[in-house]
Amino acid sequence: MMRILMTGFTPFPGVEVNPTQLLIRYFQDETVSLPEGVQVIAEVLPTAFEASDERIRQLIRDESPDFVLCLGVAEKRDSINIERIAYNWDEATIPDNDGLQLSGQKIVADGTETYDSTLPIEHMMAALQSANLPAVFSDDAGRYVCNHVFYVSRHEIATRGLDIPCGFVHVPGLTGTNEELPGWEIERLLDAVRACIGAISGE
Ligand code: PCA
């Protein structure tokens, strides 16, 4: 059995509905058909620097997954963004859900400046493209909670010498939640996540 740890996030200031939370619920309800032999451990992380940091590291330790795929919403983007780089930096113009607003600091004092995604991102891109789902690579996951979770997941895996491919994907917002922003229907987002899982599992 191949076990994929997949996470999403709760709503946060300025984003009332987080599609990644809805996506995670589909997988928790086990209503999504998965490739043969694939199990998804799905969890919604709090959109808070400290709480998400603690929880993702605990999940990696306790679940010993074969892969880690973290999802977050980036409402201004109108395509699936396969993130390539996590930066050792927290900085935001909005507070997190615990009221913490970080104005610029390292995530890990003596940590490496960046980590690359170790997921099969070329396969993921090919799978998205062949499903006609617009997707791009991104070298900027922001400096808010998504980048933080991406960085600490990679750091946890790297510093413990584990061989667990790990990466991050940003998805557009939900259609209808903000008229001024691009948005996708939930079914289309679900198709994108399934394409990524298919690529990760080597389908
Ligand atoms: N998006 C935010 C945090 C949670 C989420 O879904 C981000 O891009 O940092």
**DSSP string computed for 144-173:** SHHHHHHHHHHHHHHHTT----EEEEEE--
Whether pLDDT at 109 is above 90: yes
Whether ligand 1 lies within 6 angstroms of the CB of 27 is answered as no
Whether ligand 1 lies within 6 angstroms of the CB of 49 is answered as no
pLDDT given for residue 180 in this prediction: 84
- Tell which one of 47, 49, 56, 107 to mutate to probe ligand 1, the residue whose CB is within 8 A of the most ligand atoms: 47
% of the chain surpassing 70 pLDDT: 100
Whether pLDDT at 92 is above 90: yes
Whether ligand 1 lies within 6 angstroms of the CB of 153 is answered as no
**For the CA of 72, the nearest atom of ligand 1:** 6
Does the annotation mark 123 as catalytic? no
Tally of CA atoms within 13 A in the half-sphere of 183 that contains its CB? 16
Does the annotation mark 50 as catalytic? no
- Residue 165 structure tokens: 């491919």
Q: Count H helices and E strands in the chain, helices first.
A: 5, 10
What is the pLDDT of the chain when averaged over all its residues?
Answer: 97
Average confidence (pLDDT) over 114-125: 98
Whether ligand 1 lies within 6 angstroms of the CB of 144 is answered as yes
Average confidence (pLDDT) over 80-91: 98
pLDDT given for residue 49 in this prediction: 98
pLDDT digits (tens, 9 = 90+) for 133-176: 999 999 999 999 999 999 999 999 999 999 999 999 999 999 98
What is the distance between the alpha carbons of residues 126 and 128, in angstroms, rounded to a whole number?
5
In the chain, beta strands by DSSP E: 2-9, 38-45, 67-73, 80-83, 85-87, 90-91, 103-105, 114-116, 135-138, 166-171
Protein residue closest via CA to atom 9 of ligand 1: 146
Using an 8 Å Cβ cutoff, are 60 and 164 in contact? yes
pLDDT given for residue 177 in this prediction: 81
